[in-house]
Amino acid sequence: MHKTLEGFKNFILRGNAVDLAVGVVIGASFGTVVNVLVKDLLTPFIGAIARVPDFSGLIFTVNGSKFMYGELINALISFFLVAFTIYFFVILPMNALAAKTAKPKLVTTKKCPECLGDIPVDAKRCMHCTQIISK
């Protein structure tokens, strides 16, 4: 019995399980923030511009069957607003931050002027064509 509990403890405390749990919790919280931003700020803004705050009442009838296409319009608007929000408020700022904090790549090779082979920056002779390289 003790071995079983030890194995379970090892399983739970592995980095992958803990990282996944943290990612799920943060992802759920972030999803809530994005949904509130879209629902409470961006959707009313679009409704104010379009003068129609909710499209769910839009329907058409064929042979007594109601087609509620307004719900589809609401879902599509919500989808595009969520995608817009994530791209402009998360992806672009994260890419800008990553670009600012990225370390510049060190140049370790250069092209031989004769054969265009890659050679070390400090090379005095090309290892491919034996051409003497001037600095």
User: Do 43 and 81 form a contact (C-beta atoms < 8 A)?
Assistant: yes
Q: How many residues does the chain have?
A: 135
- CATH 1.10.1200 domain position(s) in the chain: 2-102
> pLDDT tens digits, residue range 55-91?
788 899 999 999 999 888 888 888 888 888 889 988 8
User: Do 84 and 77 form a contact (C-beta atoms < 8 A)?
Assistant: no
Pick 2-102's CATH classification: 1.10.1200, 3.30.460, 1.10.260, 3.30.420: 1.10.1200
pLDDT 10s per residue in the chain (135 long)? 677 788 877 777 776 777 788 888 888 888 888 888 877 888 788 778 877 767 788 899 999 999 999 888 888 888 888 888 889 988 899 999 988 988 888 889 999 999 999 999 999 999 999 998 886
Per-residue pLDDT, 15: 67
